[in-house]
Amino acid sequence: MFVHNKRLQYTVRVGAPNPGLANLLLEQFGGPQGELGAAMRYFTQAVSEDDPGRKDLLFDIATEELSHLEIIGSIVAMLNKGAKGHLAEAVEQEAELYRSLTGAGNDSHITQVLYGAGTPLTNSAGVPWSAAYIDTIGEPTADLRSNIAAEARAKIVYERLINVTEDAGIKDALGFLMTREIAHQKSFEKALHAIQPNFPQGKLPGDPEFASVYFNLSKGEDARGPWNEGGDWEFVEDPQPAVDGGDGTATVTVTEADVQVLQAMASRTASDPSADPTTGADLGAGKANGA
């Protein structure tokens, strides 16, 4: 059961309307790293989670992300207040109204005209929110790592948004939201490492013949470090196909009937390497038969 409290989780103080900034903040409203994506990611994970501790954690953070969505939406709405009235009531001449929507290098005309200066579920480029942003795989040791990465990406976006505004009240609210991304990362990290072992993900251990092998597949000056040397790493300087010792070809066993059909198809579609027909490209270049 959800119960909405009419007060925000954090106080929003916007110094003055700014449609361009409002458009940028939509990145955290309906963008891939935004609050709706986070809420839906954790909510859907919580519904199917069997561990009571992780289930509670995911529901709590999913609900908080919805409150963050409300904070961002409220900031966007406040930033659009002036433009919303001007656009709806046409209090300016057409040319002045157009300049106010597209001036100062912002693209807010998309959200102003299409969405009436509201809070659409789009990113800052006007792309609608998509459930494709949710990459849950249904394995907690994989999903928790993905959640940690998602919170990290959201923190970086908040940092960038803080850097593009001089409004002290907005900086303060965005700083709170950025800090909560850090708190969520810490919770997900603890939940991940409460599962022991948690690597490799899933149940199957992997083939030990290849699990600690580093193939040097980029030619040039090689950089070495703990990602490819020391410990149990085996560094293969010049890997050759096939690394399993086979001949590196692809084969399949088919029925005799399939063999006959495949041979007939190969014969019908075979290329003639001796042919050199005049093509459209030749004609376009001024070449004709026998030229």
Q: Is 271 annotated for ligand binding? A: no
Q: Is 218 annotated for ligand binding? A: yes
Q: What percent of the chain lies above the pLDDT cut of 90?
A: 76
Q: Is 184 annotated for ligand binding? A: yes
The secondary structure element, H or E, covering residue 157 is: helix 140-163
Distance in angstroms (rounded) separating the CA atoms of residues 133 and 44: 13
Write out pLDDT tens, residues 228-238: 999 999 999 99
Q: Where in the chain is the domain with CATH 1.20.1260.10?
A: 19-193
118: left (phi over 0), alpha (psi -120 to 50) or beta: beta
Q: Is 198 annotated for ligand binding? A: no
In CATH terms, the fold of domain 19-193 is Ferritin (1.20.1260)
Radius of gyration, alpha carbons of the chain: 29
Contacts 24+ apart (CB under 8 A), 254-258: none
Write out pLDDT tens, residues 159-182: 999 999 999 999 999 999 999 999
Proportion of the chain in helix, strand, coil states, percent, rounded to 5? 50, 5, 45
pLDDT score, position 125: 87
Q: Is 68 annotated for ligand binding? A: yes
pLDDT band at 102 (very low <50, low <70, confident <90, very high): low
Predicted TM-score (pTM) of this structure: 0.85
Q: Is 207 annotated for ligand binding? A: no
Q: Is 151 annotated for ligand binding? A: yes
pLDDT score, position 16: 92
The secondary structure element, H or E, covering residue 234 is: strand 234-236
Q: Is 60 annotated for ligand binding? A: yes
160: left (phi over 0), alpha (psi -120 to 50) or beta: alpha
